[in-house]
Structure 1
Amino acid sequence: MSSENSPQSHEIRKPRVAVVFGGRSSEHGISVVTAGAVLRAIDRTKYDVLPIGITQDGRWALTSDEPDRMAITERTVPSVEQLAESAEGAVILPVDPSSREVVYAEPGLVPKALGDVDVVFPMLHGPYGEDGTLQGMLDLAGIPYVGSGVLSSAVGQDKEYMKRVFLSFGLPVGPYLVVRPREWEQDEAGARARIAEFAGDHGWPLFVKPARGGSSMGITKVDSFDGLDEAIEEARRHDPKFLIESLLRGREIECGVLEFEDGPRASVPAEIPPATSHEFYDFEAKYIDAAPGIVPAPLSEEETAEVQRLAVAAFEAASCEGLVRADFFLTEDGGFVINEINTMPGFTPISMYPRMWQESGVSYPELVDRLVQAALKRSTGLR
């Protein structure tokens, strides 16, 4: 057999991973930072990588593959607009499941084929990315992706329905009140009366939160009715539906869940110490001042086992896939209460989710590889 016809002479194509980041939500900058860490860690000998940024107005842009430009500098988060190769060019994903070819188009120029994409790593946080919208588009296109599907992503994004799902599966949830847009617009007095009753039952302080969001954006801790109007206005700036939650006194504990071949497993838990220079563990404390968490959390064996059990139970309750970070309060009476899950948690090397898995024996590059491999093996049909 001649060498040119030998199978060994043909190089096997590496799987191509499209790392998609940025987006239209208020968490745009943090998504860019997260994607930079993944681009730095992904094994280039094993995968071809295509970085695609979504601008703040929703344009899919071809970006430079420069992770060092995707970091927080001088307390400022980066943006896709700073990384885009063109101010007008757009990346177009296929809409036909029989093709995975991605095309790049610029006004006045012939569209350029960028090749097939085998899997998408959606490093998006918040609405229009982590909430099932992107997942539905990728399902229609027949492209596998890292993380949970449409329903699980939507449930994980909407704090009201997340809590409803948890309660239906018997998971412990703290006291909360939901105010929907129509109620606030048509019966504000009635909504205020419900809030007043909730405050009377549970006391101050209270937390006012947008129902759909992350990175603690739009959340305000209020100590009396005096700060309530401003807090509601801030929450509604991010989402017209908002929640009122009572303060749970205790320790903040987090636990990572990762899907293995035999099912989901929990990491060692972490503890978020009180943010002494902040009212609570808000956006500034998480990302700008980078308040360090304690990994592993100083818990008893029984407490560790219980929070790991609850984290996996939350993962299963919401029918999640791939990865989840589950956040809890260990209350003063010794019981765990689940606060929320994140279906695409912060993913920089200093973020809690990778740190918990690092302490559990899974390095950051291995974590990225495991998630991509799981997505490549997953069916793109009904989940």
Structure 2
Amino acid sequence: MNKNRIRVGVVYGGRSAEHGVSCETAAGIMGNLDPRRFDVVGFAITTEGTWVQTDVDLDRLAINAGQLPNITESWGTVVGIEEALSSVDVIFPFAEDVNIQGLLELTGVPYVGPDVFGSVAGADKEFTKTLLAADGFSVAEFVTLRAHEDTVQPEQLERLGLPLFVKPARGGSSIGVHRVTTTDELPAAIADARRYDRKVLVEAAVRGRELWCGLLEFLDGTVKASAVGEVNIDDGHGREDGFYDFAKKYFDGVSHLDAPANIDEVPHLVVPANIDDDVCAEVRRLAIKAFHATESRGLSRIDFFLTDNGVMVNEINPIPALTTVSMYPLGWAVSGVDHPTLLATMVETALARGTR
């Protein structure tokens, strides 16, 4: 280990449904941190919760024959959590589990991204919408089904209308998300969403264009917004009938480990979005406002709908995917911030946080 370099630990895997997805982001981080400045070590968490120290092996993190990676103890050396955390200067906590932020706060290890509250506020879709609505944002109508609630009541369904979306309240990558067009489809969609979270969100479908914007905190504490991008899912069946589901995100098109020769080659994503300058400015303004409203820090990606009535917030992603073909890095690439610079800024901000 070169003692002049910052030792960065990348935590990935874990017990959540996004176990394999987090491996893709880990590859995007480990493969793009400047080796002249950073000494990188991976901490892979198995689905049983065992921490395994790994080398940077990008091939092992790749999607292979349509299968996401699955971490086992054979990937490296089993380590204790205290041993792992004490061996690094800063952590990328990308195991898709907000409990890790609490662990890092208790141990005092600097880490990239939002703290406990910001992580939970963004990860729990019910709380995200409640907080943003209270701050004056426009959000879609929704109903929360808690553990003892199995269905939407008739008066609630009348308010939401059809079609609607059913999703785990605390999940990502569109895992367990269903577009429901008839009431007959609702029970199966709720049951599947509940496989991933005991709390389920049932949300009115919004007719509009899907936009996003990345937020990045800089060393002096300022927060800036990236170029605005758009999700284009008009795949021949009509935009209204589809959504940006798990298969489209991870199994459709270019590799998540390889930087595209041209952003236009990335399927379903258009960066920058073909929207008027005033709309772009409004999306970026609202993105920064939402970032602060949810007490976020470090980085975040805010997703929006552009409707006939204006801009509506959809979701906040406090720990967005950081593969080379993910929305967040693509938005910043168009803004003139390449992947290594993006990651270096995150590290610098995390290390400086305790001094401000």
Select which of 81, 88, 92 maps to 1:93: 81
Within the alignment, does 1:345 sit opposite 2:320 as a pair?
A: yes
Residue 51 of structure 2 is matched in structure 1 by 60
Deviations 1:190-230 (A, max 9, x none): x532xx22322332111111111000011111111110110
C-alpha distance in structure 1 between counterparts of 2:336 and 2:247, whole Å: 29
Structure 1 contact 63–80 (Cα < 8 Å) conserved:
no
**Alignment length (residue pairs):** 337
Residue 292 of structure 1 is matched in structure 2 by 268
Deviations 1:313-350 (A, max 9, x none): 110001111100000000133x0110111011011010
Residue 306 of structure 2 is matched in structure 1 by 330
Describe the SS at the equivalent of 1:144. Answer: coil
Q: How does 1:10-89 map to 2 (within 5 A)?
A: 12-81=3-72, 84-86=75-77, 89=78
Describe the SS at the equivalent of 1:65. Answer: coil
Describe the SS at the equivalent of 2:31. Answer: helix
C-alpha distance in structure 2 between counterparts of 1:262 and 1:379, whole Å: 12
Residue 118 of structure 1 is matched in structure 2 by 89
Letter aligned with residue 101 of structure 2? Q
Describe the SS at the equivalent of 1:268. Answer: strand
Residue 178 of structure 1 is matched in structure 2 by 144
Percent of residue pairs bearing the same amino acid type: 42
C-alpha distance in structure 1 between counterparts of 2:60 and 2:3, whole Å: 31
C-alpha distance in structure 2 between counterparts of 1:268 and 1:46, whole Å: 27
Deviations 1:261-316 (A, max 9, x none): 25111111000012526831110011111433000001111100000011001100
Select which of 84, 99, 108 maps to 1:102: 84
Within the alignment, does 1:318 sit opposite 2:294 as a pair?
A: yes
Letter aligned with residue 144 of structure 1? P
C-alpha distance in structure 2 between counterparts of 1:345 and 1:51, whole Å: 18
Higher deviation after alignment, 272-281 or 135-144:
272-281
**With CA pairs under 8 Å and 6+ residues apart, which has the higher RCO, 1 or 2?**
2
Deviations 1:144-201 (A, max 9, x none): 000000000011111111111101111111111111113x1xxx5xx532xx223223
Q: How does 1:117-266 map to 2 (within 5 A)?
A: 117-125=88-96, 129=97, 131=98, 133-182=99-148, 184=149, 188=150, 191-193=151-153, 196-260=154-218, 261-266=220-225
Structure 1 contact 20–54 (Cα < 8 Å) conserved:
yes
Residue 369 of structure 1 is matched in structure 2 by 344
Letter aligned with residue 363 of structure 1? D
TM-score by length of 2: 0.90
CA RMSD of aligned residues (A): 1.9
Describe the SS at the equivalent of 1:31. Answer: helix
Structure 1 pair 215/275, CA: closer, same or farther in 2 (3 Å)?
farther
Q: Runs of 4+ in structure 1 displaced over 4 angstroms?
A: none
Structure 1 pair 327/170, CA: closer, same or farther in 2 (3 Å)?
same
Residue 264 of structure 2 is matched in structure 1 by none
C-alpha distance in structure 2 between counterparts of 1:19 and 1:202, whole Å: 41
C-alpha distance in structure 1 between counterparts of 2:55 and 2:130, whole Å: 42
Describe the SS at the equivalent of 2:268. Answer: coil
Structure 2 contact 160–203 (Cα < 8 Å) conserved:
no
C-alpha distance in structure 1 between counterparts of 2:244 and 2:268, whole Å: 11
Structure 1 pair 78/340, CA: closer, same or farther in 2 (3 Å)?
same
TM-score by length of 1: 0.84
Residue 356 of structure 1 is matched in structure 2 by 331
Structure 2 residue runs without a partner (length 5+): 254-266
Residue 283 of structure 1 is matched in structure 2 by 246
C-alpha distance in structure 1 between counterparts of 2:169 and 2:107, whole Å: 29
Structure 1 contact 207–219 (Cα < 8 Å) conserved:
yes
C-alpha distance in structure 2 between counterparts of 1:124 and 1:298, whole Å: 33
C-alpha distance in structure 1 between counterparts of 2:291 and 2:209, whole Å: 21
Structure 1 residue runs without a partner (length 5+): 1-10, 95-100, 104-114
Structure 1 pair 173/361, CA: closer, same or farther in 2 (3 Å)?
same
C-alpha distance in structure 2 between counterparts of 1:12 and 1:23, whole Å: 29
Which structure has the larger Rg?
1
